[in-house]
Amino acid sequence: MKISMVGRGAFAKKHLAGLARIDGVEVASIVGRVPETTEATARQFDIPHWTTSLEESLEQPGIEAAILTSPTQVHAAQAEQVMRAGKHVEIEIPIADSLADSRRILEVQQETRLVAMAGHTRRFNPSHQWIRNRIAAGELSLQHLVVQTFFFRRTNMNAEGQPRSWTDHLLWHHACHTVDLFQYHTGETASGAVCTLALSFNNKVPLGTFFRYICDNGTYIARYDDLVDGDENAIDVSQVDVSMDGIELQDREFIAAVRDGREPNASVAQVLPAMETLHRLEQSLG
């Protein structure tokens, strides 16, 4: 399967590293904004074609799908362009920064019947999968999910410490992870579980998001792909899935869904309720 990588920043490189471990997949083209850095990334990852034009990339022979790691503000337009070109699409979180654009993506997916998946990595991290599996088995009952997402951001830098040409949205990006994950664990029916989320770009602590699962019979803390109990004892999640890399597992699901002709976990349809919740939150804050 030949893929176009749209974007060449920190998260594009995380995807490229994960895709390199998946059999039968080739990143055949990469799209970037700046020619010099795009070419450099193509050379670094042995990608045969690079361009600053998404249209040109999608026209490369054999391209079946695209992964969008571009700025959130262009996700909707690019996702539609990819699907109108007859290609499947995986869109990094969030799929958009408005409910209208999120619905637009879903409408095009329903029209084209192509695979359109959101990059909701928390669904795939082994730590969160471990919790999800035990909830599904009836071994845990989630009472309270307490989440903190803290950054100390005074300059617009990406995860590599490089200047970024677009701005991140605390609600539509970082809250999106938690809102979707909570809905994913609790389902569509009322469970009585509570989610508490604190977000800040002004708190100087270790960068990242930490999830505390308070359950009826145990407390668990997830930090990316790692999991500990309430006493900070490590829990082995190495056998939960074929990799400890959540982004690789996310990409494996996308590729499998394309090959199998099925709806993926974290399809744009499945994540739309999270976008609706974020919209209501934004309206209440306005």
CB 9 within 8 A of CB 158: yes
Whether domain 2-120+246-265 has CATH 3.40.220.10: no
Helix (H, G, I), strand (E, B) or coil at 16: helix
Fold held by 122-229: Dihydrodipicolinate Reductase; domain 2 (3.30.360)
Across the range 51-76, mean pLDDT stands at 97
Rounded distance between C-alpha atoms, residue 78 and residue 67, angstroms: 10
Identify the pLDDT of residue 205: 73
> For residue 72, with 0-12 CB atoms within 10 Å meaning exposed, 13-18 middle and 19 or more buried, which class applies?
buried
CATH code 3.40.50.720 region(s) in the chain: 2-120+246-265
102-119 exposure pattern, b = at least 16 Cβ within 10 A, e = fewer: bbbbbebbeebebbbbbb
Identify the pLDDT of residue 163: 73
Rounded distance between C-alpha atoms, residue 111 and residue 114, angstroms: 8
pLDDT at 155 over 90: no
**Residue 182, φ and ψ in degrees, nearest 5:** -65, -45
The model carries a pTM of 0.93
Mean confidence (pLDDT) of the chain:
94
